[in-house]
Amino acid sequence: MPTTSAKLHRARAAKNDEFYTQYDDVKKECDNYLSHFFNKIIYCNCDTADSAFVKYFTELKAAGKIRDVWFSGGLGGDDFRSPASLERLNAADIVVTNPPFSLFREFIDQLIQYNKKFLVIGNMNSVIYRPLLTQIKENKIWFGVRRWTGGMNFITDNGMRGVSAIWYTNIAHGIIPPELPFTKRVEMPAYDNADAVNVNKSSHLPPDYTGIVGVPISFLQWYNPEKFEILGLAKDFTYDGKPCYINGDVLYTRLLIRRRFKNYLLP
């Protein structure tokens, strides 16, 4: 292990799914939830003792700001699906960790099933997982304080690596998403097989447009449920059951959205 391992979080059990979250990234996000953590048992169920998460919460425990921190994961530890881990999960108050991205769907299903409060890191592309997207649509899960600005940097055994990652949580942090920027008007072509138009950049969505629009999943960094409605994945609304396409060209995943004008004041 490198000498900086005390500041890193081991969140992968498989060699090809092994990342380390930097301590500063953990602290910058978790500091926003201190009132929720107070006197709680925090469970880092994908972490070992050298995890940045465990280090952070051990410091909070020493300062009397949480009741306890538990951990059981990573190399040589209990899998988050093991009976021992599930027993701890059931008894803990809040889960804070960076689960293996390859198992994120199973991990988030478990948190929902056990009705746990959580703050976890996941791949941005995980939002296309329907159970997670449904929770976001229903305002039961949202992004953390840190906005998605292209991803996060992690340490791997092969050096630093940028990953399309973001914090997911169901703990209120009181930070309102930034306004969706509007840069210029562009043509918004209609899909060949769905009743909606397309924009390739969220910043090309006109503030006065009243119809249904397909936007990239990166739109969610500006998603405010008081100002927008998420209808779902565009491919679920096509006439032919196929992914959405324009002039025969299939597009990458799109979300269908529309503005809630009754709660939105135009600039």
- In tens, the pLDDT along 124-179 reads 999 999 999 999 999 999 999 998 777 788 877 787 888 889 999 999 999 999 99
Helix (H) or strand (E) holding 188: none
Lowest mean pLDDT among 6-10, 231-235, 242-246: 6-10
Exposed, middle or buried: residue 37 (CB in 10 Å: 0-12, 13-18, 19+)? Answer: buried
Higher pLDDT among residues 159 and 74, named by residue:
159
Quick one: average pLDDT of 24-35? 97
Give the CATH number of the domain where residue 157 resides: 3.40.50
Does one domain contain both 159 and 206? no
Report which secondary-structure segment, H or E, holds 199. Answer: none
pLDDT, one tens digit per residue, over 222-239 is: 999 999 999 999 999 999
Same domain membership, residue 140 and residue 218: no
Q: Into how many domains does the chain fold?
A: 2
**Of 157, 158, 168, residue with least CA distance to 10:** 157
Q: Is pLDDT at 4 greater than 50 in this prediction?
A: no
Strands 159-163, 152-156: parallel, antiparallel or unpaired by DSSP?
A: antiparallel
Angle between the N-to-C axes of helices 104-113 and 130-137, in degrees from 0 to 180, rounded to the nearest 10: 50
How far are the Cα atoms of 6, 51, 89, 99, 161 from residue 2, in angstroms, in the given order? 9, 13, 30, 21, 16
Residues 34 and 110 in one domain: yes
Same domain for 201 and 78:
no
Domain that holds residue 45: 3-169
Q: What is the pLDDT of residue 1?
A: 35
Q: 201 and 163 in one domain?
A: no
Structure tokens at 95: 């889960």
